[in-house]
Amino acid sequence: MKTLFALFALVVLGVSTVAAQEDACYQKGGTWNADESKCVIAHSIEASIDHPIELAQHPIVEQTVDAFINETRTQFLSSVTAPEMFAFPAPGGFFLSMAHDEYRFSNDIVSLVFTVSDYTGGAHPNSYYQTFTFDLAQERLLTLDDLFVDGVVALSVIFPIVQQDLTERLGDMADASWIEQGTGVVPENYRNFAITPDELIFFFPPYQVAAYAAGPFEVHIPLSAISTVLAAPYSG
């Protein structure tokens, strides 16, 4: 009986010791390898970049996009390769993801919408948009003002449309002051846009118009609804 009790005590002690080591491993940011009884702490850095290479024959696109990608990648790498970023506990895997979508108003007017996500530590990844609209025929980058007869007047027309759309879609999560601040008549609020033959689309990243949990938002405005403030050829 004493022998069985001693064996049982040793087993319990062994399990307790393993569990303690496993917990300690997790606290260090590691993964417990049960087969080898090892705590493995892995640091990883991954960058995935979707390049619109099909438009790279246009110098204005190549120069603009390459500069944006290089700057974003450089900032990401500098932020995650500092020695203090690899102190215990381990931060897990750092990543940068840059994907893009293409929207066309015409053969010559093209919008590229980049969705950028990165994780450099903290409670959750960060995400944001960066958009570019090009006039390929004239080899120039278009601003939002280029779409309107008068940019100030246009924003005063756009703002209530955007505000109503977001308020309805957010429902109980809608915060009037947050929406007001994120969509007020300030050009910076509408810097991320794309245009198609039918719509002007605005992109709002997390935190701009609502809490992070609400996610990002797109607001699609029919060109017919704002035709009076659009410049040619966008006014139809």
pLDDT tens string, the chain, 236 residues long: the values are 555 544 444 444 444 577 788 888 877 777 788 888 888 877 788 999 999 999 999 999 999 999 999 999 999 999 888 777 666 555 567 899 999 999 999 999 999 999 999 988 777 889 999 999 999 999 999 999 999 999 899 999 999 999 999 999 988 888 899 999 999 999 999 999 999 999 999 999 999 999 888 989 999 999 999 999 999 999 87
Task: Report the SS3 class of residue 80.
Answer: helix
CB 91 within 8 A of CB 178: no
Dist. CA 162–CA 180, nearest whole Å: 10
47 - beta bridge partners? 96
Furthest-apart CA atoms within the chain: distance in Å: 95
The strand ranges marked E within 12-108 are 31-33, 38-40, 44-49, 93-104
Dist. CA 188–CA 208, nearest whole Å: 11
Nearest to 43 by CA among 82, 72, 99: 82
The set of residues, in sequence order, having a beta carbon less than 8 Å from that of 12 and lying 6+ positions away, is none
The strand ranges marked E within the chain are 31-33, 38-40, 44-49, 93-104, 109-119, 126-135, 140-142, 193-195, 199-204, 217-222
Task: Report the SS3 class of residue 150.
Answer: coil
Report the predicted TM-score, pTM, of the whole model to 2 decimal places.
0.82
Q: C-alpha angle with apex 93: 89 to 76, nearest 5 degrees?
A: 105
Q: Is the peptide bond before 216 cis (omega within 30 degrees of 0)?
A: no
- What are 112-142's pLDDT values in tens digits? 999 999 988 777 889 999 999 999 999 999 9
> Hey, what are 47's tokens?
């960058």
> Hey, what are 148's tokens?
């309107």
CA distances from 40 to 4, 79, 140 (A): 35, 24, 51
